[in-house]
Amino acid sequence: QVQLQESGPGLVKPSETLSLTCTVSGGSISTYYWSWIRQPPGKGLEWIGYVYYSGRTNYNPSLRSRVSLSLDTSKNQFSLKLNSVTGADTAVYYCAREEALRWFDPWGQGALVTVSS
């Protein structure tokens, strides 16, 4: 079955760019929507955005000015970049496959990213 795995630095300095990659195994990235979702410590889930296999993107309005999503079909990966980070961006970041604006399944195991100098 399809599995997702996040990778990237666990520590990012304030004002720098957070970069994460999600590797998809057991299926092709060339279908579906692919989303990023984050969860600050002790808080609820927040959708960051999705990238469609065609390359079309859609972002959470509250993060739109700082976020960029892309995908690499040759590597079966999709990526997140969030610039100008602050402590408020400290969170566990999850990648997930999205079923046409209806549900998320499966999810990656999550990657904790801490923003600190």
- Closest approach of other proteins to the CB of residue 92, in Å: 8
Of 82, 99, 79, the residue nearest 91 (C-alpha): 82
Q: How do 111-115 and 11-12 pair as beta strands?
A: parallel
Q: Which stretch binds other proteins (CB under 8 A): 7-15, 16-24, 82-90, 98-106?
A: 98-106
Using CB under 8 A, pick the residue from 20, 80, 91, 108 that binds other proteins.
108
Q: Nearer Cβ to other proteins, position 11 or 112? A: 112
- Closest approach of other proteins to the CB of residue 94, in Å: 6
Site for other proteins in 6-65 (CB under 8 A): 35, 37, 43-47, 49, 58-61
Helix then strand count (H, E) for the chain reads: 0, 11
For residues 57 and 69, the answer to whether their CB atoms sit within 8 Å is yes
